[in-house]
Structures are given as C-alpha cells and as structure tokens.
Amino acid sequence: MKSYILYLFAILFSLSTYSQIDSRKKSFNIPAIEAPKDTKSETPEIKPEENFDMPKSTPNTPFPKKEFSMFAEEEFGDPGELYVDKINKTLDHLKLSKEEIELRNGSTVDQYLGDFNSNGKFVNVVYRDHGYMDGDIIQVRVNDDVVHARVFLSNSFKGFKLDLKPGINKIDFVALNQGESGPNTAEFRVIDDMGNVVTHNQWNLATGVKATVIVVKE
C-alpha cells in the first residue's frame, strides 16, 4: 500500500512538472526589437536648383545674336523682302516706255502738242473723253485767260468758237482731276472756218498738268 502511494505521488509530480514546462513554453514571449531608423531611406527634400541643371549666364558668356542657319543669308533672308526682290527682277523684264507709263499713270509734266498756222477768222475747238467716261474734268484757257472754268468730258464732242487774233493763240487744257479710273484722258480737234482740221491729238494727264496747242494766225 505504501509503495502504491509513492508510485501515485511520483506520477502526480511528473504530471505537475510537465505541466509547468508546457505552460512555460506556451507563455514564452519574444520581446519585439525596434529596428533602428535608416536615415538613408528617408526621402530627401528636392530643391529646384538641385534637381535640374539650369544653365546660368555669366557676364563672360557670349550669346549668339542670330540663330544658326545652314543657308547663306544672301539667299534666304526676310520672306517679304525676298518676294519684293523677285517681283522687281520680274518687272525688270517688263520695262515700259515713257509713252506707255504716261498712258497708264498720266503725264506728270506739261505737254506741248505743237503749233499750227491758219488763215481763218476763227477756229472751233472741240474735245471729248476718248476713253471710258469716268468723270474727267478740265479747265480751258486761251492766252492764259480762263474761258471755261470747269468742263465735264463726255463721250460726245463739245467745245467753243475761238476768234483768232493775229499772231499766237495759245490754248491750254488743264486736268482738274483724273476721274474714277485715271488718268485724265481726252481727244481734241481744232477746225478752221472752212471745216478743215488744223490739228487733232489726245492727252493723258495727271491732275494739275496741262496740254498746250498753239494756233498762229498769219
């Protein structure tokens, strides 16, 4: 009986010891170890001047005045100037004569249309717009006296009778405007008392310019 009790006690002691060891295993905690701060992993502050290589100008740094071009400046300059140069070169092959320029723009200098002799007592001086009737207006003078201050030129002849004085009878036709299409254009005729045409001609005048014809009575 005594040996049985001792055996039971030994079993209980063994179970108690195992329970404590098992309990220790279950409750065993490993303390957390705080990792040291890695200063290298922190994102550094980025400043504009550190992030980008911005060229800095210095007083000694020369800057080009013009952009580099593969082409010569003489051949490739300002487009507008080149266009004008090409037009001028083209017009060089289309040179107009003095007469053609006057027909286009009107004479800017006074025109002398000649002097003619007549034995008649008078002459009829008539004129008209020989081109498009665009509102040309003239002034008529005889020996520097105004005989018709403003004459509107139509496509039909109109004029006046001029009694001839011995010697020079000067007739001036002064262009007061150039109409709508310019220049001031007209055809005139001088007819003696016998119906003979003493002279006839045309003018193309700029504003303010005059055409002169002289009838000399012998």
3-state secondary structure the chain: CHHHHHHHHHHHHHHHHHHHHHHHHHHCCCCCCCCCCCHHHCCCCCCHHHHCCCCCCCCCCCCCCCCCCCCCCCCCCCHHHHHHHHHHHHHHCCCCCHHHHHHHHCECCCEEEEEEEECCCEEEEEEECCCCCCCCEEEEEECCEEEEEEEECCCCCEEEEEECCCEEEEEEEEECCCCCCCCEEEEEEEEECCCCEEEEEEEEECCCCEEEEEEEEC
Cα–Cα distance, 177 to 159 (Å, whole number):
19
Q: What is the pLDDT of residue 142?
A: 98
Which domain does 162 fall in, by range?
Answer: 110-217
Using the predicted structure, report yes or no on whether residue 38 has a pLDDT greater than 90: no
High-pLDDT (> 90) share of the chain, % = 46
Q: What is the pTM of this model?
A: 0.55
Is 187 contained in some domain? yes
Name residue 95's beta-bridge partners: none
Number of domains in the chain: 1
- Residues 43-81 pLDDT 10s: 555 554 544 455 554 555 554 454 444 434 444 455 666
Q: Is residue 208 part of a domain?
A: yes
Q: Which of 178, 171, 170, 180 shows the shortest CA–CA distance to 127? A: 171
pLDDT of residue 60: 55
Residue 31 in tokens: 């303390």
Per-residue confidence (pLDDT) for residue 75, from 0 to 100 = 45
- Domain annotation covers residue 210: yes
CA angle 154–135–196, rounded 5-degree value: 30
Q: 82: which 2 tokens?
A: 């080149």
User: Is 68 within the bounds of a domain?
Assistant: no
Q: What does the alpha-carbon distance between residue 184 and residue 213 come to, in Å, rounded to a whole number?
A: 17
CATH of the domain at 191: 2.60.40
Let me know if 63 is exposed, middle or buried by CB neighbors in 10 A (0-12, 13-18, 19+): exposed
pLDDT reported for residue 70: 44
The verdict on residue 38 lying in a domain is no
Mean of pLDDT over the chain: 75
**From 24-33, 127-136, 144-153, 184-193, the region with the lowest mean pLDDT:** 24-33
In DSSP terms, 117 is beta-bridged to 216
- Residue 40 maps to a domain: no
| Poorest-pLDDT segment among 4-13, 24-33, 100-109 | 24-33
Beta carbons of 73 and 172 less than 8 angstroms apart: no
Nearest of 212, 211, 214, 213 to residue 106 by alpha carbon: 211
In a domain? residue 134: yes
Structural domain includes residue 141: yes
Amino acid 76: pLDDT? 46
178-187: pLDDT as tens digits: 988 879 999 9
The encoded tokens of residue 213 equal 């014809």
- 121 vs 193: CA distance, rounded Å: 7
